[in-house]
């Protein structure tokens, strides 16, 4: 038997300690310190290490326990029938392995495994709190929490406040005794209202609807439980008198008894249909009024469930197929530092690869030195990484409890990793910067930004080509791009005459881009595409903008002090003035096209003319620039900041401080659908 190293022994010990702490906080204190997905991944890591090194298994290991002790403020009762937890699968390979294990057991039992009934039933996994309900002669007599699966907490008075749980079964001849299992949960809308109320009262917010449901069920005052409007889905029952054949039959009977049963269940003849069901709900679940984090797959025929039985911890006939987590733990292998076009040094975490939100993640942003200090990062730490939708992964927190001995803290470099010049960190900023204007990284970033789609949009000039242009010293500013020739470009690796001609033509075509795009392409700090549009509407020529004062610039609606100062400072740098002159000579568009009386009249006739919009968050279907163009086409104006002059704030998912400010100012908020309706009515 292979002997574990001291590092492995230490890792097992620390994982056990952290999992015990998380379990105690969740089950006993009602104060979770770790998300389910993170707990699952740490648990699986410990489980794998114990599989590889069984000599490290201890009697008190988290893997050797069915559950945790219930809290003491309620009466502890023993379940009539144990409430087993479910084994988790995180991909189709693990699901197939579960099926194969079940098939082996059935063959070992030498039972008939053919059946006319569909083999599987899929039900959405409701993110709530499990309950066991006991009925005697049709009357609810006891409601208990899951607890450790063997012993739970008796909370009958609280259970009776849940309107979707019948106090009397809707059966003419109810059985003498029946036990119903299901999930108590909070709808998303009710959860949001509870948190809003708690925020008003200065109370800590619930982390998610599941935690809120669990906390609600354990309130000593049943009036509080009733006020929170918990809901309930029943998913199984235990009784001996009625001979049921399938799990589907059990759900149908539960409905006859008066219980709510999740309508989104489906019979599946094989794992192929199971996978289709799972995939179909991966995005659709976002539209449900309650939270679900996966699909529960069960063997449908109850005779097969009986044949398969249970392991020490799980039923062999059911498994939870989980959706990819948006947060998960992994190890920090190293930290590299990137230099951007403004000279900002951005630390990037190099990670042990992990699956997150359906993709493999190996790198994540750490933002700046202040963030690193806040996280207290050491190389070798276990860190939590988040990825939501299309957003770049980021390290959101650290687990120093799992830190290896002799782990070294990461320190930001004192010199630029690209040019070797000393870096600076202004007291008013969180960002460390290289201020060497000749730094190759700053030049590369400036060129890539200039050529980007929202700037002058030079097709074919990407990172690889820019890298070569800088290394060969063919380009030292964006103006040099317009002096490139086919002959110069064909000197580069893998650059033929045909490709070089296309690039030269694309560079020439970029001269026709409007003044707003050119201004954005200059890369002035804080000037995004929206601000560039606003500035060029006010200052129709580069001379007007260059000669303006900060007060003049700040007078533009939507432009603040920070932007005004940055623009004024940029145009007062001699090197930038020289750049503008070169761009003029090369024929770039540094003035707005004059408006004709006809175009002005048409713009005034548009129904959104004079209306100011701000976009915040991620919209379900429209990209931000698409929404912006639609608003502008209808005569509206899009700005980047909320003020009393803002008419509408268009709100998407993960809306931030702009939404908060809009609420404070009483500004109207629109969803994407409401925006499209407004645009349609304005057409």
Task: State pLDDT tens for residues 181-196.
Answer: 999 999 988 988 888 8
Mean pLDDT of the chain: 86
The per-residue pLDDT for range 433-453, each reduced to its tens digit, is 998 878 999 999 999 999 998
Domain count, the chain: 6
Q: Are residue 286 and residue 184 in the same domain, yes or no?
A: yes
Q: Are residue 312 and residue 336 in the same domain, yes or no?
A: no
Angle formed by the axes of helices 92-109 and 271-284, nearest 10°: 150
The per-residue pLDDT for range 376-397, each reduced to its tens digit, is 999 999 999 987 544 578 898 8
Map residue 629 onto helix, strand or coil: helix
| Structural domain contains residue 593 | no
Q: Does the predicted model carry a pTM greater than 0.85?
A: no
Where do we find the tokens 């996966």?
294
CA distance linking residue 379 with residue 268, whole number of Å: 47
| Structural domain contains residue 354 | yes
| Structural domain contains residue 277 | yes
CA distance linking residue 641 with residue 643, whole number of Å: 7
Phi, psi of 522 (to 5 degrees): -65, -20
42: which strand partners? none
Which range of residues forms the domain containing residue 353?
A: 327-411
Q: Are 491 and 449 in contact (CB under 8 A)?
A: no
Binding site for Zn(2+), by residue number, is: 416, 419, 439
Q: Are residue 527 and residue 641 in the same domain, yes or no?
A: no
| Structural domain contains residue 559 | yes
| Structural domain contains residue 599 | no
Count CA within 13 A, CB hemisphere, residue 644: 0
Q: Are 320 and 118 in contact (CB under 8 A)?
A: no
Q: Are residue 302 and residue 385 in the same domain, yes or no?
A: no
| Structural domain contains residue 310 | yes
Q: Say whether pLDDT at 349 is over 90.
A: yes
433: which strand partners? 344, 424
**Residue at a domain's end among 467, 491, 511:** 511
The per-residue pLDDT for range 61-73, each reduced to its tens digit, is 887 654 455 555 6
Q: Are residue 189 and residue 239 in the same domain, yes or no?
A: yes
125 is catalytic: yes
Domain of 644, CATH number, reads: 3.40.50.10190
Domain of 25, CATH number, reads: 1.10.287.610
Among residues 14, 125, 331, 628, the one annotated as catalytic is 125
pLDDT, greater one: 25 or 546: 546
Q: Are residue 539 and residue 618 in the same domain, yes or no?
A: no
Binding site, by residue number, is: 36-40, 85-86, 123, 146, 183, 298, 322, 416, 419, 439
Q: Are residue 624 and residue 504 in the same domain, yes or no?
A: no
In what side-by-side order are the strands of the sheet with 88-89?
88-89, 318-322, 292-299, 120-126, 266-268
Binding site for NAD(+), by residue number, is: 36-40, 85-86, 123, 146, 183, 298, 322
pLDDT, greater one: 284 or 148: 284
Q: Are residue 572 and residue 640 in the same domain, yes or no?
A: no
297: which strand partners? 122, 319
């Amino acid at each position: 038997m292979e002997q574990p190293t001291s590092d492995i022994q230490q890792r097992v010990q620390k994982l056990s300690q952290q999992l015990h702490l998380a379990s105690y906080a969740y089950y006993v204190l009602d104060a979770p310190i770790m998300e389910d997905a993170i707990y699952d991944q740490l648990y699986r890591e410990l489980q794998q290490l114990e599989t590889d090194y069984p000599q490290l298994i201890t009697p008190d290991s988290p893997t050797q326990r069915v559950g945790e002790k219930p809290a003491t403020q309620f009466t502890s009762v023993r379940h009539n029938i144990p409430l087993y937890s479910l084994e988790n699968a995180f991909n189709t390979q693990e699901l197939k392995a579960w099926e194969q294990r079940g098939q082996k057991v059935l063959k070992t039992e030498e039972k008939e495994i053919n059946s006319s009934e569909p083999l599987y039933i899929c039900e959405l996994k409701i993110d709530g709190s499990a309950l066991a309900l006991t009925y005697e002669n049709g009357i609810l007599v006891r409601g208990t929490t899951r607890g450790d699966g063997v012993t739970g907490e008796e909370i009958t008075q609280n259970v009776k406040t849940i309107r979707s749980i019948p106090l009397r079964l809707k059966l003419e001849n109810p059985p003498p005794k029946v036990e119903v299992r299901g999930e108590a949960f909070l709808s998303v809308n009710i959860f949001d209202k509870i948190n809003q109320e708690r925020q008003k009262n200065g109370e800590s917010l619930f982390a998610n609807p599941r935690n809120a449901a669990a906390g609600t069920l354990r309130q000593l005052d049943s009036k509080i439980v009733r006020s929170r409007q918990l809901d309930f889905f029943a998913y199984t029952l235990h009784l001996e008198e009625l001979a049921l054949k399938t799990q589907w039959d059990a759900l149908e009977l539960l409905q006859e008894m008066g219980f709510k049963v999740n309508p989104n269940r489906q019979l599946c003849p094989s794992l192929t249909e199971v996978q289709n069901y799972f995939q179909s709900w991966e995005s659709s679940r976002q539209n449900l009024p309650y939270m679900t984090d996966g699909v529960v797959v069960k063997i449908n025929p109850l005779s097969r469930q009986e044949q398969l039985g249970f392991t020490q911890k799980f039923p062999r006939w059911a498994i939870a197929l989980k959706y990819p987590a948006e947060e998960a733990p992994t190890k920090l292998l190293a930290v590299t530092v990137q230099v951007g076009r403004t000279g900002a040094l951005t630390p990037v975490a190099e990670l042990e690869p992990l699956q997150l939100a359906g993709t493999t993640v190996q790198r994540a942003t750490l933002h700046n030195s202040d963030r690193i200090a806040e996280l207290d990062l050491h190389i070798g730490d276990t860190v939590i990484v988040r990825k939501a939708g299309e957003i770049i992964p980021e390290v959101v927190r650290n687990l120093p409890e799992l830190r290896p001995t002799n782990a070294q803290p990461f320190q930001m470099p004192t010199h630029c990793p690209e040019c070797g010049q000393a870096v600076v960190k202004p007291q008013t900023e969180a960002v460390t910067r290289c201020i060497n204007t000749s730094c190759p990284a700053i030049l590369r970033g400036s060129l890539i930004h200039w050529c980007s789609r929202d700037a002058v949009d030079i097709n074919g000039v990407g990172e690889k080509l820019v890298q070569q242009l800088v290394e060969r010293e063919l380009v030292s500013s964006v103006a040099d791009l317009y002096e490139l020739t086919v002959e110069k470009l064909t000197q580069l690796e893998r650059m033929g005459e045909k490709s070089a001609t296309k690039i030269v033509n694309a560079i020439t075509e970029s001269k026709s881009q409007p003044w707003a795009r050119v201004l954005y392409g200059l890369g002035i700090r804080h000037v995004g595409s929206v601000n560039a549009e606003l500035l060029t509407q006010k200052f129709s020529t580069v001379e007007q903008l260059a000669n303006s004062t900060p007060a003049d610039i700040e007078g533009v609606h939507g432009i603040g002090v920070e932007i005004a100062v940055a623009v004024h400072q940029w145009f007062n740098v001699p090197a930038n003035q020289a750049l503008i002159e070169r761009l003029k000579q090369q024929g770039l568009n540094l003035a707005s096209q004059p408006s004709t009386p006809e175009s002005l009249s048409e713009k005034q006739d548009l129904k959104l003319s004079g209306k100011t919009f701000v976009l915040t968050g991620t919209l379900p279907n429209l990209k931000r620039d698409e929404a912006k163009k639609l608003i502008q086409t209808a005569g509206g104006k899009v700005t980047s900041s909320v003020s009393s002059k803002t008419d509408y704030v268009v709100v998407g998912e993960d809306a931030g401080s702009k939404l908060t400010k809009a609420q404070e100012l009483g500004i109207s908020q629109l969803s994407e659908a409401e925006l499209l309706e407004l645009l349609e009515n304005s057409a």
